[in-house]
Amino acid sequence: MVKRLVVGAHYGIKDWLIQRITAAYMALYTVIFAFAALTLPAMTHEHWQALFSGRLMQLLTFLFFASLCYHAWIGVRDIWMDYIKPLGIRIALHVATALLLIGYLAWVARVLWRL
Amino acid sequence: MMQTQVKKRPKFLDLREIRLPLPGIVSILHRISGGGLFLFLPFLIYLFDLSLTSPETFATYQAIVGHWFVKLILLGLLWAYLHHFCAGIRFLLLDLHKGVELEPARQSARVVLMVSLALTVILGVWLW
């Protein structure tokens, strides 16, 4: 068994790219959402719900949250890797973060497609 | 077998003594705002859920976000989102090698701080 320093698992460049693709999509969605929300006739339940009842808006919104969860996974994982050194605690935090984010995405999906 | 050399490098990490340059402040705030948004994500999705489900839950949502303390938290999160947004665009431009020299980098860091604060004030006043 050769002992060597592992200097990379090669997920770095993929994560780097995904972090930027998801960011770009979220920025685009933010502008679309801000425009749609600010041009609502009135902030009532009826208008608000109508905004998210369109199939296209539901898809775009879901893609936003999916991007957010992937983006947050990479970002929060990096925070744990930078500051939490004990391996056990770090792995526990990674697992908790991943499970939470998957749960959040499922929650959003339920909210959107129940409309 | 690979030999690893451990160089002795001087370390200076006294946070009270380090004077972080403007781009460094934008960078650490990017991390702090991102972490804050992650921590409050369940609360935001909860509000999103309430606002959409039914007219009754919408009324509950309005009552919650009508409270001054909740508004204060949401104002903080609005800043966090806007800062993360503006700093993120700056980082994307840096990736494209735009504005990587010292002076433009300082300038853009200043712009990020000011634009995100200004947008927070404008949207905050308008939404409050």
Q: Of B1, B35, B88, which has the smallest distance from its Cβ to A79's Cβ?
A: B35
Note whether B52 contacts A75, CB cutoff 8 Å: no
pLDDT reported for residue B112? 97
**Counting one residue from A and one from B, how many pairs have CB atoms under 8 Å apart?**
53
pLDDT reported for residue B75? 97
Number of domains in chain B: 1
Mean pLDDT of the residues in chain A: 93
Distances (CA, A) of A11 to A3, A18, A104: 21, 11, 24
Torsion angle of alpha carbons B69, B74, B78, B79, nearest 10°? 30
- The mean pLDDT value for B20-43 works out to 97
CATH number at residue B54: 1.20.1300.10
Note whether A24 contacts B55, CB cutoff 8 Å: no
Residue in A closest to B57 by C-alpha: A45
Question: What is the Cα–Cα distance from B73 to B93, expressed in whole angstroms?
Answer: 30
> Is B34 domain-assigned?
yes
Q: Which two tokens stand for residue A25?
A: 């999509």
- The mean pLDDT value for B57-64 works out to 97
- Domains of chain A plus CATH, in order, are 13-113 (1.20.1300.10)
Question: What is the Cα–Cα distance from A26 to A61, expressed in whole angstroms?
Answer: 9
Mutate to test the interface with A, among B2, B15, B38, B82 (most CBs of A within 10 A): B38
Per-residue buried b or exposed e for A55-86, using 16+ beta carbons within 10 Å of the residue's own CB: eebbebbbebbbbbbbbbbebbbebbeeeeee
Confidence tier at B13 by pLDDT (50, 70, 90): confident
> Is B119 domain-assigned?
yes
Residue B100 makes CB contacts below 8 A (sequence gap 6+) with B94
CA distance B55 to chain A (A): 6
Least confident range from A30-34, A36-40, A59-63, B16-20: namely B16-20
> Is B11 domain-assigned?
no
% chain B with pLDDT above 70: 95
> Is B14 domain-assigned?
no
Mean pLDDT of the residues in chain B: 93
Chain B residues whose CB is inside 8 A of the A5 CB are 2, 4
ipTM score: 0.90
> Is B16 domain-assigned?
no
B127 to chain A, any CB pair closer than 8 A? The answer is no
Confidence tier at B5 by pLDDT (50, 70, 90): low
- The mean pLDDT value for A30-52 works out to 95
Residue in B closest to A82 by C-alpha: B31
Question: What is the Cα–Cα distance from A68 to A100, expressed in whole angstroms?
Answer: 13
> Is B2 domain-assigned?
no
> Is B38 domain-assigned?
yes
Task: Give residue-wise pLDDT tens across range A2-30.
Answer: 666 666 667 788 999 999 999 999 999 99
Distances (CA, A) of B105 to A114, B86, B93, B101: 46, 14, 10, 6
Question: What is the Cα–Cα distance from B81 to B34, expressed in whole angstroms?
Answer: 8
Task: Evaluate whether B84 touches B34 at the Cβ level (below 8 Å).
Answer: yes
Domain limits for position B121: 22-127
Q: Is the pLDDT of residue A32 over 60?
A: yes
Question: What is the Cα–Cα distance from A50 to A35, expressed in whole angstroms?
Answer: 15
> Is B95 domain-assigned?
yes
